[in-house]
């Protein structure tokens, strides 16, 4: 009897909280597109591929530079997005939800991986020319 009473009290509360969470515009019903966010907020200065644009100084940083992007962790990238890099880059603190910021960070990081093979094949030595089998070494 007590278990049934708890169920009657807890179930509506859990369903109500679940409904609130699902109402978030960045929740499971609305996918977040990092490229779309990047194109809207970042591409004007950083270029569509992260290589920058001619009108902006090279000091902006090239987001497609694997060495530079590999030296930064996600928190550092998010920090730059939030705070900006005065005087050339404005900060976007408060502009994005945490979920959108994480997706944008992943997309920015992906720009440095364009054209990089995730699994480079091991280097092969010179191929042996076909010919007669080599004699076995003496024992």
DSSP 48-61: TTSS--TTS-GGG-
Portion of the chain with pLDDT greater than 90, in percent: 42
CATH of domain 39-114: 1.10.760.10
pLDDT for position 109? 95
Q: Is 89 helix (H, G, I), strand (E, B) or coil?
A: strand
pLDDT tens-digit map of 10-42: 344 444 444 444 555 555 578 899 999 999 999
pLDDT of 2 above 50: no
The alpha-helical segments, DSSP class H, found in the chain are: 2-22, 34-41, 43-46, 66-70, 74-83, 98-111
78 closest CA partner among 103, 50, 43: 103
Out of 25-34, 62-71, 95-104, 115-124, give the one with best mean pLDDT.
Answer: 95-104
Question: Where do the structural domains in the chain lie, given as residue ranges?
Answer: 39-114
Per-residue tokens: 107: 């997309």
- Predicted TM-score (pTM) of the model is 0.62
């Amino acid at each position: 009897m007590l278990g049934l009473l708890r169920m009657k009290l807890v179930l509506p509360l859990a369903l109500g909280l679940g409904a609130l969470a699902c109402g978030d515009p960045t929740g499971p019903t609305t996918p977040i597109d990092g490229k779309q966010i990047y194109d809207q907020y970042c591409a004007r200065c950083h270029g569509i591929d992260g290589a920058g644009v001619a009108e902006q100084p090279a000091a902006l940083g090239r987001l497609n530079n694997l060495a530079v992007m590999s030296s930064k962790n996600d928190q550092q990238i998010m920090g730059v997005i939030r705070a900006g890099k005065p005087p050339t880059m404005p900060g976007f603190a408060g502009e994005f939800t945490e979920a959108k910021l994480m997706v944008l960070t992943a997309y920015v990081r992906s720009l440095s991986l364009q054209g990089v093979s995730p699994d480079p094949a091991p280097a092969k030595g010179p191929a042996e020319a076909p010919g007669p089998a080599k004699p076995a070494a003496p024992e």
